[in-house]
Amino acid sequence: MSKRTRWLLEAKGCIDMATAKRAPTKKASKSYRTHVRVCVGTGCVSNGALDIKKALEKEVKKQKLDKKVLVVTTSCHGFCERGPMVHVQPDDIFYQKLKVKDIPHLVQEHFLNGRPVKKFMYKPPKSKEALPKMSDIEFFKHQQLIVLRNRGRIDPEQIDEYIAYDGYTALAKTLTTMKPKDVIEEIKASGLRGRGGAGFPTGMKWELCRNATGDVKYIVCNADEGDPGAFMDRSVLESDPHSVLEGMLIGAYAIGASEGFIYVRHEYPLALECINKAIRQASSYGLLGKNILDSGFSFKMHVVQGGGAFVCGEESALLGSIMGRRPEPVQRPPYPVEKGLWGKPTSINNVETWANVPPIISNGAKWFSSIGTKTSKGTKIFALVGKVKNTGLIEVPMGTTLRQIIFDIGGGIMDDKDFKAVQTGGPSGGCIPKKLLDLPVDYEQLTAAGSMMGSGGMIVMDDATCMVDVAKYFLNFLVEESCGKCMSCREGTQRMLEIVTRITEGQGREGDIELLEELAETVRDTSMCGLGQTAANPVLSTLRYFRKEYDLHIKYKRCPAKVCKSMINFYIVPERCTGCQRCVEACPVGAIVGPRSEPHNLDVTKCIRCRACYEICKFNAIEDVVVDAIRIISGVGVEEESEA
């Protein structure tokens, strides 16, 4: 960094780079012995993190520790399932699932007496020993943070803290020492590919946009993340909005764009607030607006709120939405890099792609391309959800196997059930079965396995999941969220849903599988945009790996996972039933009758298969084996035949 930019950054009120690396702020590092970092990501806030923070502050004050212990808020740690969580530095102690009533005990023991409290610490699934340090926890240990480098470390609403951790130095480097062409070459050399799902090389996109003819050029940040169970973009925007801004500024300089748009869906109020605040702060620091860092480069940023349509994540629909038109995908070519917003060259990149840019510029393309696989470089954020012990947001190098992600980081399957499949890439992704667990995750491998990278949702399913039912769930989503322009996508998904619903209701016919396949291929081949072209994936990939399950549903009217209501019956095992009457109370339709202390009777004709009795009936028999007195049967008499 040149002397001039250093002076500028310092003069703007940012603190000295040399000393700032060690602690968030100079003042804080001198005055307080302990920093208590309360996570205030969306997950933790909905679990009551703000109350925890208040309680902590109150208690710290009560114990007269307010000169020694500082309670600060930080961005999302990613381990959202364990919220609300608190991270104590410099001891690196990690507390999870805290409640307001625990706080006085915690403050007294840890901050006053210096004894970290074991009972609030994370216990790994296999051992019963509490792990005090955050860096020892499996969930965090295997991750490599590039995009999420500032998570849990800074307060996302303080630009000073971002700058203290070398924020905006990449921008300063770009503006003072690099030509736009150099930036593009650097990004090209790094091998960064679009993180929105398709994986188009980012450097190439920028170059095309730079070389396109047009007096005005735009850049767009796609933060319209609509996949069920995915929250990567939200978390990046909430935990480190400035890194997105910095990435966009560097990109705009490289492309020659003068205006940028961030398209955030309106279901993300906190992300919107964070990014708006970040823009205000950056503007007041002169990092946005006219003549940035005295380089002559000017840039204007706008935030656009989406209206809630999933299809707006598709680039041409998104552009339509920004321009105030009906968000419908349009034919490409011409691509947005040639004719985008208002007919001008426009480069659209995902939140995660933009956030990858500053580290690449700071650390060099060589460093970045050393991470990952041959074709996919760097790291990828995944939202690991579903039937896995540790759910949350993870960032791993490309090429990490699914087994490492699910069993090492995720800690394995909930209740120690069997792993069945993992659904990647959102609703239009596919299900990957157990035999492909050692698949290294990158763009090509996932596509070859019939799924896709998508934006990075990862839904883990156990053996109590019916794959036909999964296909139905995603089709239901797509039927609602298809824009409806292409006949193939609109009608095709509806018809696929019709057939799959028929199969799950026990009305499946001979030939349904073939029809489904033919239809799915047509939908994939003939739809205009990415949504339609991948809308058949849930069906195609479940058919590819779980065809037998479809067969069982159609031929034997049997659901092996015992999920499809029309194919299951509940049955009380007389020898096991103690007549405790719990199920009698739980049954909403009064299908179970029987006197106390005698085996109950279940009237199958009245039963609505709500599972209430099955869930409530659990008692320990001899030798610690959990036995259910209520069993679910599917396809009586065909079990042996079909299993063979």
Partner 1 sequence: MIQMKLNGLDVQVEEGWTVLETCRFYGIEIPTLCYKEHLSPYGACRLCTVEIGEGDSTKLVSSCTYPVSDGLVVRTHTNRVQRARKMLIELHVALCPTSKVIQDLASRMGVTQVRFEPKYEDCVLCGLCVRMCKEQMDGKAIGFVDRGRNRRITSPFDIKSEECRLCGGCIWICPACQTRCHGPNPESVLCNACLMTETTCLDVYDDMQCWMGGKGECGMCVREDTVVKE
Give the nearer residue to partner 1 in terms of CB position, either 102 or 512: 512
How far apart are alpha carbons 61 and 450 in whole angstroms?
A: 57
Cβ-based neighbour number of residue 363 at 10 Å: 13
| Shortest separation between residue 263's beta carbon and partner 1, angstroms | 17
* Least gap, CB of 510 to partner 1 (angstroms): 12
- Residue 513 contacts partner 1 per CB under 8 A: no
Backbone conformation region of residue 323, classed left if phi is above 0, alpha if psi is from -120 to 50, else beta: alpha
Q: Does 325 bind partner 1 (CB under 8 A)?
A: no
Task: Choose the binding region for partner 1 from 10-18, 235-243, 474-482, 567-575 (rule: CB under 8 A).
Answer: 474-482
Least distance in angstroms from the C-beta of 498 to partner 1: 7
Please count the residues of the chain. Answer: 644
**Position among 114, 296, 324, 333 found at the interface with partner 1 (CB under 8 A):** 333
- Give dist(CA 208, CA 194) in Å, integer: 14
Q: Does 326 bind partner 1 (CB under 8 A)?
A: yes
Exposed, middle or buried by CB within 10 Å (0-12, 13-18, 19+), for 567? Answer: buried
Q: Give the one residue of 522, 573, 598, 603 binding partner 1; rule: CB under 8 A.
A: 522
Number of residues binding to partner 1, judged by CB under 8 A: 34
Residue 78 vs 226, nearer CB to partner 1: 226
> Of 134, 436, 519, 543, which one interacts with partner 1 (CB under 8 A)?
519
Q: Is the Cβ of residue 489 or residue 602 nearer to partner 1 in the bound state? A: 489
DSSP code of 566? G
Under the binding rule (CB under 8 A), the answer on residue 331 touching partner 1 is yes
Whether 207 and 185 have beta carbons less than 8 Å apart is answered as no
- Among residues 28, 515, 593, 621, which is the contact residue for partner 1, using CB under 8 A? 515
Q: How far is CA 11 from CA 242, 287, 575, in A?
A: 19, 13, 81
Taking CB under 8 A as the rule, does residue 526 contact partner 1? yes
Q: What residues numbered 475-504 form the site for partner 1, per CB under 8 A?
A: 478-488, 490-492, 494-495, 498
Tell me the closest approach of the beta carbon of residue 317 to partner 1, in angstroms: 10
CA distances to 184, 239, 271, 354 from 274, rounded to whole Å, are 29, 8, 5, 16
The rounded distance, in Å, linking the Cα atoms of 247 and 255 is 12
The stretch among 262-270, 521-529, 539-547, 564-572 that binds partner 1 (CB under 8 A) is 521-529
Q: Which of 294, 518, 615, 641 binds partner 1 (CB under 8 A)?
A: 518
Site map for partner 1, 422-461, x if CB under 8 A?
A: ----------------------------------------
Helices (H), 16-90: 17-20, 26-31, 42-46, 49-62
* DSSP 8-state symbol, 388: B
Among 527, 534, 537, 634, binds partner 1 (CB under 8 A): 527
Q: Which stretch binds partner 1 (CB under 8 A): 13-21, 63-71, 523-531, 610-618?
A: 523-531
How many distinct helices (H) and strands (E) make up the chain? 27, 20
- Helix, strand or coil for residue 346? strand
- Select the span of 178-186, 201-209, 330-338, 593-601 touching partner 1 (CB under 8 A): 330-338
Q: How far is the CB of 339 from partner 1 (least distance, A)?
A: 11
CA–CA distance, 436 with 434 (Å, rounded to integer): 5
Q: Quick one: 13 or 334, whose CB is closer to partner 1?
A: 334
Residue 205 CA: distances (Å) to CA of 14, 161, 184, 271, 371: 34, 32, 9, 26, 21
Closer to partner 1 by CB, 15 or 330: give it.
Answer: 330
Task: Select 373 or 527, whichever has its Cβ closest to partner 1.
Answer: 527
Closest Cα partner for 466 from 361, 394, 578, 566?
566
DSSP labels, 452-487? --TT-EEEEEETT--HHHHHHHHHHHHHHHS-S-SH
CB of 550 to partner 1, least distance (A): 17
Instruction: Report which of 347, 99, 130, 327 is spatially closest to residue 221, judged by C-alpha positions.
Output: 347
Report in angstroms how near the CB of residue 552 gets to partner 1 at its nearest.
Answer: 22
Q: Calculate the CA 69 to chain-centre distance.
A: 33
Smallest CA-to-CA distance from 15 within 156, 168, 173, 160 is with: 160
- Binding-residue pattern over the window 297 to 316 for partner 1, x denoting contact by CB under 8 A: ------------x-x-----
What ranges in 198-305 are assigned the alpha helix state H?
202-211, 232-239, 241-255, 269-284
**Of 178 and 311, CB closest to partner 1:** 311
Of the two residues 487 and 593, which places its CB atom closer to partner 1 in the complex? 487
Structure tokens at 34: 């302990």
Tell me which residues touch partner 1 (CB under 8 A): 309, 311, 326, 330-331, 333-334, 478-488, 490-492, 494-495, 498, 511, 515, 518-519, 521-522, 525-528
